[in-house]
Amino acid sequence: MASDNKPSEINWSLDIYKILAELLNPLHISIKNNTSYEDSIQDAKKYISDHLNEKLTVQDIADIIHMSPSHFSRVFRQQTGFSPYDFVLVSRLNRAKDFLQKTDMSISQIAFDIGFNSESNFIYFFTKSTGLSPSKFRKLKF
């Protein structure tokens, strides 16, 4: 009798392993997708950096990495902690800080070179972000 139970125990064990494999399969897919999202988000960040002086929309960036705008926005925020809009704004302001420290470009020229549509819009966001106007920031020694 004990020998009769061995094949059924083996089959039962195999069934358990099959069930476990099925249950763990979505986890594998999730990990794989998360890695591919990291690559996609890196591509999006590079695109943003390379095109800061242009008008950037969520739709345009999502198209570049082949995602819907809503899915891209959600994944981007999960991966970076920023919305795409905020990431673009912070990237532009960081580039502005660089220009202010290393060049004597006019404030207006910097504003347009980093993608702002007006000098006043740039000054507003820069001052709000840093607590200093661009001209006061430029006078600081780093």
Domain termination site, one of 65, 81, 97: 81
Place of tokens 């960036």: 61
Q: Which of 111, 2, 140 is nearest to 52 (CA)?
A: 111
Helix (H, G, I), strand (E, B) or coil at 25: helix
Domain termination site, one of 51, 81, 111: 81
Tally of domains in the chain: 2
Asked if the model's pLDDT at residue 63 lies above 70, the reply is yes
Q: What is the pLDDT of residue 32?
A: 42
Q: Are residues 77 and 10 in the same domain?
A: yes
Q: Which of 103, 110, 90 is nearest to 49 (CA)?
A: 90
The total number of residues written for the chain in this structure: 142
Q: Are residues 57 and 20 in the same domain?
A: yes
Q: Which of 118, 123, 124, 121 is nearest to 135 (CA)?
A: 123
Q: Are residues 63 and 110 in the same domain?
A: no
End-to-end CA, the chain: 85
Q: Are residues 38 and 97 in the same domain?
A: no
Residue range of the domain that includes 44? 2-81
Give tens-digit pLDDT for 80-132.
999 999 999 999 999 999 999 999 999 999 999 999 999 999 999 999 999 99
Q: Are residues 55 and 14 in the same domain?
A: yes
Domain termination site, one of 81, 101, 127: 81
Q: Provide the strand spans (E) within the chain.
A: none
Q: Are residues 91 and 131 in the same domain?
A: yes
**Which tokens sit at 15?**
């069934």
d(CA 120, CA 112): 11
Report DSSP letters for 114-136, one per residue: TT-S-HHHHHHHHHHHHSS-HHH
Give tens-digit pLDDT for 5-56.
566 666 666 666 666 566 665 544 444 445 578 999 999 999 999 999 999 9
Asked if the model's pLDDT at residue 135 lies above 70, the reply is yes
Q: Are residues 30 and 59 in the same domain?
A: yes
The residue with greater pLDDT, 1 or 43, is 43
